[in-house]
Chains A and B, each alone.
Chain A
C-alpha cells in the first residue's frame, strides 16, 4: 500500500545553516504521528517543505504516491494536503462563516465564478455551518474573527483545515498560545478527527503527544533522530537526554 504522505531524503538549508537534513518520513492512511524535538529542530520548516511554502534543495515529497515536489502550495492543497499554522493565519476582518465559505469555495472551484452571487449557494453555507457545528462554533458564525478570543480562533484555524476535506493534515502546535483551561477543547477536536485522515502533529506538550500519537518522530538539528511508538520513545535514554531532559530542565526553570 502506498503511504498517504511520503517524504524522501529532504534537504534544505538557509545560507550555510542546514535546517532539514536528509529527512525520511512516511504517513500511512489514517496515521497519527507526532513530530517532536527541541526548539530550532526544524519542525515548522519541515511542515513548510511538505506543504510547498518552502522549496527543498533536494529530496521528494509524495502524496498518495504522486510526486508533488514541484507543485505549488495551492496545487498541493487542492490535492488534499491541509495544514494549520503555529500562529493563526485567518481572514481576521471577515466573519467566521465567511472564513469557512471561502475555504469551501476555493476547494470546489466556485471562486472562479465572477458573476453568480456568493450567497446564492445555499449548499456551501450549510456545509460551512455543519463544520462550525461540529466544533461548536455556530454561535460565533457572524462574529469577525478578530473579535474572538485566541482559543476560539485556534478552533477556526482547525475548522478551515477540515473544511478542505484533506487526506493528509499537518497540525503545527494546534494548542499553542491557548490558556490551559481552554486547550482541552482543541485537543478533544484533534482526538476526534476522522480516522481516514493521516495526521502529523507538532506538539511540545508531552501529555498531548502520548495521548494522541501512535507513532512519534524525533527531530534534532534538522535530522530524524529516531522514531517509534510512544513507549519506545519514552524509554529511549538518548531521547530523554536530548529532549525530555531539556523539557524537565525548562519546566524546572519556569517553576
Chain B
C-alpha cells in the first residue's frame, strides 16, 4: 500500500515536471531559428547584384511580421494595414523632402512613432468592432489617408509622389551604393532588432492573452481581461512596426508615392502571411520571400500574365496547405517524430 502510494506520488510529480517543463522552455531560442538569418546572410554573398530586390523582400517580411502580431496572434482581421506602412513611408519621405531631415535611423524612430499614433487613435475607435464591420472600417482608414495625401498634393506630391530623395550616410559612415549592398545589410539589421522585440512580445504573458482573445473572447471577458486595451496596445505596436517597414521602403527606394496606401498593398501583405502561415512568426519570412521571388520570376517569364502564376500558387496553398507553407513543414516534422516513436 505504502509502496504503491509513493509510486503514484512519484508518477504525478513527474507528470507535473513534464507539463511545467513545456511552458518553462517554450520561449527559448531553438537552433532552427538561426536558419532564416543564415539564409539572408548567404543571399548577400550569393546574389550580390540582386540586393535591391533583397531589401524589398526584407521590408515585406517586416511588414508581414507586423500583420502576424494582430492577425495571427490577436485574431484581428484587417484590410487596411497599408495605412501604417504608408504613414511610415511618408514620415521619412516628407521629413527628407520638406524638412531636409535625412538621417536614416532617427527617421525610422519618427516613422514608428507617427504610425504608432495613427494606430492608437484608429485602433481605439475601430477595435470595438469585429468581422465584416472591422474589415470595412480598416479599409476605409487606408483610403482616407490616401485621399488626404491626394488632397494636399502640394505637400505630399500627390500620385507623382516624392521622387529622388537622398539620405545621409548610415551612422555618418556607410553611404548608399548603386547595388544596394549597404541598405540590404541595414534592412537586415533593423529586421533583426524588430524581430527580437516582436518575439519577446509573443512569448510574454501579454502575448498569451492575445492568443486567448483570438481563441475565445467571451472567456477573456469572463476572466477579467481588459480586452479592448489589449487589442489597442497590440494594434499600436503592429502599426509602429509596419511604419518602420514603410520607412525602410522609402529609404531603400529613395522615392515614395501614394500607391503605398493602396488596397493592393494591404491585400498583398495578408496573402503573404497566410501563404507562409499565421501565428508562427516565421510564416512572415517564408510567405513574403516565396511571394516576392515567385512574383519576380513569373513577371520575367511572362510580363503580361504573371499574376496567373501567383494566383495558381495561392489556390494550391488554400486547397492543400491550410496552415500555410510552414504548416506543411510542421506536418512533415510531426509525421517523422511519430514514425520514430512507433
A and B form one complex:
yes
Q: Does A69 contact B (CB under 8 A)?
A: no
Report the minimum CB–CB distance from B33 to chain A (whole Å): 15
Q: Does A98 contact B (CB under 8 A)?
A: yes
Q: Does A240 contact B (CB under 8 A)?
A: no
Q: Which residues of A contact B225 (CB under 8 A)?
A: 74, 106, 111
Q: Which residues of B contact A97 (CB under 8 A)?
A: 19, 22-23
CB pair A77–B204 under 8 Å, yes or no, is no
Q: Which residues of B contact A101 (CB under 8 A)?
A: 23, 208
- A51's partner among B15, B18, B215, B222 (CB-CB below 8 A) is B222
- Report Cα–Cα, A164/B207, bound state, in Å: 20
Chain A residue nearest to B213 in the complex (CB): A91
Q: Does B300 contact A (CB under 8 A)?
A: no
Report the minimum CB–CB distance from B210 to chain A (whole Å): 9
CB pair B27–A117 under 8 Å, yes or no, is yes
Q: Does B158 contact A (CB under 8 A)?
A: no
CB pair B219–A160 under 8 Å, yes or no, is yes
CB pair B27–A119 under 8 Å, yes or no, is yes
Report the minimum CB–CB distance from A47 to chain B (whole Å): 11
Chain B residue nearest to A97 in the complex (CB): B19
Q: Which residues of B contact A75 (CB under 8 A)?
A: 224
Contact with A along B226-241 (1 / 0, CB 8 A): 1100100100000000
Q: Does B24 contact A (CB under 8 A)?
A: yes
Q: In terms of DSSP, what is the predominant structure of the interface of chain B? A: helix
| 8 Å CB interface, B1-30 against A | 12, 15-16, 18-20, 22-27
CB pair B206–A114 under 8 Å, yes or no, is yes
CB pair B23–A118 under 8 Å, yes or no, is yes
Can you name 15 A-B residue pairings with CB atoms under 8 Å? A74-B220, A74-B226, A74-B227, A82-B222, A85-B219, A106-B212, A113-B205, A114-B204, A118-B27, A118-B208, A119-B24, A120-B27, A122-B20, A142-B18, A142-B19
Query: Which residues of A are in contact with B by a Cβ distance under 8 Å?
Result: 51, 53, 72-78, 82-83, 85, 89-95, 97-98, 101-103, 105-107, 110-122, 125-126, 129, 133, 138-139, 141-142, 160, 164
- Report Cα–Cα, A76/B218, bound state, in Å: 14
CB pair B222–A133 under 8 Å, yes or no, is no
Given A117-B27, A119-B25, A142-B19, A106:B224 Cβ within 8 A:
yes
Report the minimum CB–CB distance from A72 to chain B (whole Å): 8
- B221's partner among A77, A92, A118, A126 (CB-CB below 8 A) is A77
CB pair A91–B205 under 8 Å, yes or no, is no
CB pair A107–B201 under 8 Å, yes or no, is no
Q: Which residues of A contact B26 (CB under 8 A)?
A: 119
Chain A residue nearest to B201 in the complex (CB): A114
Q: Does B55 contact A (CB under 8 A)?
A: no
Q: Which residues of B contact A122 (CB under 8 A)?
A: 20, 24
Given A118-B23, A119-B25, A138-B19, A89:B208 Cβ within 8 A:
no
CB pair A98–B206 under 8 Å, yes or no, is no
Given A94-B215, A119-B24, A110:B222 Cβ within 8 A:
no
Q: Which residues of B contact A141 (CB under 8 A)?
A: 15-16, 19
Q: Does B312 contact A (CB under 8 A)?
A: no
CB pair A118–B207 under 8 Å, yes or no, is yes
- Report Cα–Cα, A243/B19, bound state, in Å: 47
CB pair B24–A91 under 8 Å, yes or no, is no
Given A73-B222, A82-B222, A106-B225, A119:B23 Cβ within 8 A:
yes
Q: Does B200 contact A (CB under 8 A)?
A: yes
CB pair A89–B219 under 8 Å, yes or no, is yes
- A102's partner among B19, B200, B208, B226 (CB-CB below 8 A) is B208
| Residue among B15, B203, B208, B209 with most chain A CB within 10 A | B208
- Report Cα–Cα, A101/B218, bound state, in Å: 17
- Report Cα–Cα, A235/B274, bound state, in Å: 63
10 nearest A-B pairs in the assembled complex, by CB-CB distance: A77-B224, A141-B19, A91-B215, A78-B224, A111-B209, A117-B27, A110-B205, A89-B219, A119-B23, A73-B221
Q: Which residues of A contact B12 (CB under 8 A)?
A: 133, 138
Q: Which residues of B contact A95 (CB under 8 A)?
A: 22
CB pair A125–B219 under 8 Å, yes or no, is no
CB pair A92–B204 under 8 Å, yes or no, is no
- B223's partner among A102, A114, A129 (CB-CB below 8 A) is A102
- 10 more CB-based (< 8 A) A-B contacts, given A91-B219, A94-B215, A121-B205: A90-B216, A93-B215, A94-B212, A98-B208, A102-B223, A106-B223, A111-B209, A114-B206, A118-B203, A133-B16
CB pair B224–A102 under 8 Å, yes or no, is no
Q: Which residues of B contact A110 (CB under 8 A)?
A: 205
- Report Cα–Cα, A29/B273, bound state, in Å: 52
